[in-house]
Amino acid sequence: MQSAPDTPATIALIGNPNAGKTTLFNALTGANQKVANYSGVTVELKSGETYTPHGKKLRVLDLPGCYALRATSPDEKVAVAALHGELPGEVKPDLIVCVADASNLERHLQLVLQVIELGIPTVLALNMVDMAEKSGLRLDPAKLSEELGVPVVPMQANAGKGVIELKQALRFPFPTPPQAKWIPGTDDGESARREFIRKLCELAARRPDAHQLTTSDRLDRWLLHPVIGWAVFLTAMFAVFWAIFSFAQIPMGWIESAQGLVAGWIESAMPDGDLRSLLIDGVLGGVGGVLIFLPQILLLFFFIGLLESSGYMARAAYLMDGVMARAGLSGKAFLPLFSSYACAIPGVMATRTIDSAKERLVTIFVAPWMSCSARLPVYFLLVPLLLHEDEGTWKQALVLFAIYTLGTLTAFITARLLRRKLGPDTGPHHFLLELPPYRAPQWAYIFRHVHERGRAFVVKAGTIILGLSILLWALGTYPKTEGDDEAEALAHSAMGRIGAVIEPVVKPLGFDGRVGTAILTSFAAREVFVSSMAVLFRVEETDDEEQTRETLRERLAAAQWPDGRPLFSPLAMISLLVFYIYALQCLPTSAVVAREAGSWKWALGQFAFMCGFAYVASLVVYQTGTLLGF
């Protein structure tokens, strides 16, 4: 079924992974889909709109990358079904724009020829011609067009070059479906294509006689070295964590000062009362307690964007392939697992690039153990409590690095055990990794991505966290007592009563009822823990402004058990960190897991297993530590 005459014509963008489809899609439609110098970014269909030079509207589909039209992985199946018009609710495309990396033309032409064989009007977007020319390739787009029988548009999509020329090629009427020259007279399509590509490249994409080492090749000698490569990888990862802790200090100070100013202003403008308490302890304490971590989250996404955009992430995947194999997974699981460090939801969705269903299920199962950014506020709250800033930010970075390593190692061990239990695959699956040339980072995309993540975090703080902070404040305030004793008032409140019920369950882990209540509230979203703690651990206001501006961290450091022991002993904090490393406290992740795994049983099993594991791990840490005298 093709587009009806009154509906806009549909154009499908297809190409090998990392050919630049998403960059071209963004350039054509003005959208802002995530772009990375790494394969597997597009794992589902995305659609947008563009216009021909004559103002005619066109619908553009961005298909997942694939190396051939014999689909094996779920994302490739989506791409092939879309080209055949077999996706429910989707029409067959009226035109296909095949995006090929000009610097790797021999390989990319395999897919181009298969697309042309479909008999649908096709345009070849010859992307990254700048890189091809730099490597010494002599391209002849006119000859390519003549031999393939389709229009060929040389372009550099990331710089916006060639986009206007491509739009010119999308004018009505579309070019007639080409005739495949290489099929007639042969039974073996694969060999015929290979032979045709060899001849075509001799004519229209000639490489220099002597192989020239590019800058990327020279860099890869070091960055992919079995020893030096790993040293660089570990140093880069550690540097990222150190930079997050160090660089964020200044803007965090600004946010803290702003909060203090607002609190001071409210205090001077309003007499003591419930509304003032709600505004300062509930709203400002809850929302401000989460917002203060915004600089660190922005920095994390900035560094992830930098690594992806520069092309280093693909090298990291290459290095990690051996490690993945030990966990019973392939290098294809690297991107989903790495994405999960930002958020498990795109990570779980990115598992669609994995061919093997069993490997995919295992990757989905362990992905939430890659410490996501929602855990960061909890870590950023507890790590400085464990190790004060004066002891050196590098020590804090080391603890954060250890937290990430613990989650990752446990995920790998579990993946190996689970993979063994599920048994071998019925068919062979291969891991093919694109190593793109190193490029200058696309700053515009990185900053847009950072901005989007930051906005999502602020919106969440301003909606869900604001609401929960208000409700928590109410639970911690009502019903009220007659006296002025804060501790008695909290014990009498609804929150105090809930805490008393929960305390026997969490006490073996080293937590009191308030911490237990904060954990309970964070099952909707982990970062709520910080705002809950801010509301639950409010201190008595004094005339001393400095004291009233004490940070939540200082309040927690001063918290005690009824017998005077510090509540947040180093052992209790490690126990709490361990709990947050392992517990699956994210409803949207469970919903996406249920959808991707095709069963709620899988999602519920994962939830029960991870929360049970978190409880037992935390219990073992605290009880063992106590027995050893810590």
Partner 1 sequence: MDWQTHTAVAIVVLTLTVFLVRLARPRRKPGCGHNCGCGKNPPLSD
The residue ranges that bind partner 1 (CB under 8 A) are 44-47, 72-75, 77-78, 82, 87-90, 270-271, 273-278, 349, 352, 355-358, 360, 425-427, 467, 470-471, 473-474, 591, 595-596, 598
Q: Which is nearer to partner 1, 181 or 492 (CB)?
A: 492
Distance of closest approach, residue 45 Cβ to partner 1, in angstroms: 4
Distance of closest approach, residue 570 Cβ to partner 1, in angstroms: 37
The residues, any chain, with a CB within 8 Å of residue 502's CB and separated by 6 or more, are 513, 516, 517, 520
Distance of closest approach, residue 163 Cβ to partner 1, in angstroms: 23
Q: Which is nearer to partner 1, 201 or 466 (CB)?
A: 466
Q: Which is nearer to partner 1, 47 or 246 (CB)?
A: 47
Q: Which is nearer to partner 1, 270 or 487 (CB)?
A: 270
Q: Are 140 and 203 in contact (CB under 8 A)?
A: yes
Upper half-sphere CA count for residue 531 (Cβ side, 13 Å): 33
Distance of closest approach, residue 291 Cβ to partner 1, in angstroms: 18
Q: Which is nearer to partner 1, 385 or 474 (CB)?
A: 474
Residue with tokens 């190692």: 409
Residue ranges of alpha helices (H) inside 478-599 are 486-492, 494-506, 513-521, 528-536, 545-548, 552-558, 570-582, 587-597
Distance of closest approach, residue 397 Cβ to partner 1, in angstroms: 37
Distance of closest approach, residue 559 Cβ to partner 1, in angstroms: 25
> How far separated are the first and last CA of the chain, in Å rounded?
70
Q: Which of 526, 527, 580, 591 is nearest to 364 (CA)?
A: 591
Instruction: Please give the helix or strand (H or E) that residue 125 lies within, else none.
Output: strand 122-127
* Distance separating alpha carbons of residues 360 and 17, to the nearest angstrom: 19
Structure tokens at 561: 């058990």
Distance of closest approach, residue 534 Cβ to partner 1, in angstroms: 17
Q: Which is nearer to partner 1, 428 or 629 (CB)?
A: 428
Q: Which is nearer to partner 1, 243 or 357 (CB)?
A: 357
Q: Which is nearer to partner 1, 494 or 500 (CB)?
A: 494
Q: Which is nearer to partner 1, 159 or 591 (CB)?
A: 591
Structure tokens at 379: 């870590």
Q: Are 496 and 480 in contact (CB under 8 A)?
A: no
Distance of closest approach, residue 6 Cβ to partner 1, in angstroms: 17
- Calculated CA dihedral for residues 302, 308, 309, 312, nearest 10 degrees: 120
Distance of closest approach, residue 357 Cβ to partner 1, in angstroms: 4
Distance of closest approach, residue 210 Cβ to partner 1, in angstroms: 42
Q: Other C-beta atoms within 10 Å of 39: how many? A: 23
Q: Which is nearer to partner 1, 422 or 435 (CB)?
A: 422
Distance of closest approach, residue 283 Cβ to partner 1, in angstroms: 9
Distance of closest approach, residue 86 Cβ to partner 1, in angstroms: 11
SS3 sequence of 465-492: HHHHHHHHHHHHHCCCCCCCCHHHHHHH
- Calculated CA dihedral for residues 41, 44, 45, 46, nearest 10 degrees: -50
| Integer angstrom CA distances of residue 384 from 264, 393, 400, 523, 576 | 26, 9, 10, 23, 14
* Distance separating alpha carbons of residues 394 and 238, to the nearest angstrom: 9
3-state secondary structure of 127: strand
Helix, strand, coil share of the chain (percent; to 5) = 65, 5, 30
Q: Which is nearer to partner 1, 360 or 538 (CB)?
A: 360
Q: Which is nearer to partner 1, 146 or 425 (CB)?
A: 425
3-state secondary structure of 384: helix
Q: Which is nearer to partner 1, 209 or 482 (CB)?
A: 482
Structure tokens at 344: 């498990």
Residue type, 91: V
Strand partners, 126: 100, 154
Query: For residue 12, what is the DSSP state?
Result: E
Distance of closest approach, residue 48 Cβ to partner 1, in angstroms: 10
